[in-house]
Amino acid sequence: MSDVHGEKYAIDEDALPSDHFIASPSRPNLGFIGFVRPNVGAIPPMSELQVMWFLQNLQGKVHRQDRFLPIARPSYLVLGNKYPYGVDYGNYMHRVAEDIGAAPTFSVLATKASHPIRALYTYAQGQAHIPIFRLQGPYASKQCWDTFENELWEVCKKRGIVENLGLAVVTWLSIWMNLGACLLECLWGIVSFQKP
């Protein structure tokens, strides 16, 4: 419900389309670029990635990662109703990039980078910058590898030891918590004879 001049009204349908708020399966030739609102981060990089996704969609080359397990509410939506199209910046960027094969994998970062440790660290501790999504996939670029391994690495280094150590601890803590939860779920599945 919204309030306009003291009167309440309800929107019957979403104004933005269902596919990452970029395009609708019923009208794939019409793109909605730059309408989502990030919790933190900038709209122009999101728009650039949306254009990449939209162009791949026009060519029929988008492979939705959630097509086998559709969910009612995408994981990248922010909680609350302040902005109906508010998204978590990093999560949204990665979900869109995954659909077009542009989200770099561990094996790509570890094998194709000239400095694998630097690349893995920059990816893990950096933000969802556009050069990251141009390391592989349809818009891959050698220049983006250079930007990723040098410029973005320098940004991560400039944070200082305390902030980088804090981020590393939080990252490893999250990894171990997720592995523990996965192990518990698998054990529960074995004990209760249910699929996890």
Provide the residue ranges of all domains of the chain, joining segments of one domain with +: 1-103
Question: What is the predicted pLDDT for the residue at 163?
Answer: 86
With pLDDT > 70 as the criterion, what percentage of the chain qualifies? 88
- In this structure, are residues 55 and 6 in contact, taking their beta carbons and an 8 Å threshold? no
Does residue 196 register a pLDDT over 60?
A: no
Tokens of 50: 């949306």
* Positive/negative CA dihedral, 43, 90, 93, 168: positive
111: enclosing H helix or E strand: helix 106-112
- This prediction's pTM: 0.77
Residues 69-118 pLDDT 10s: 666 678 888 887 677 788 999 999 999 999 999 999 999 999 999 999 99
Number of neighbours of residue 174 by Cβ within 10 angstroms: 10
pLDDT > 90? residue 134:
yes
Sequence-separated (6 or more) residues with CB below 8 Å from residue 40: 89
Quick: pLDDT tens for 39-79.
Answer: 887 899 999 999 999 999 999 999 887 666 666 678 888 88
Q: How far apart are CA 164 and CA 137, in angstroms?
A: 29
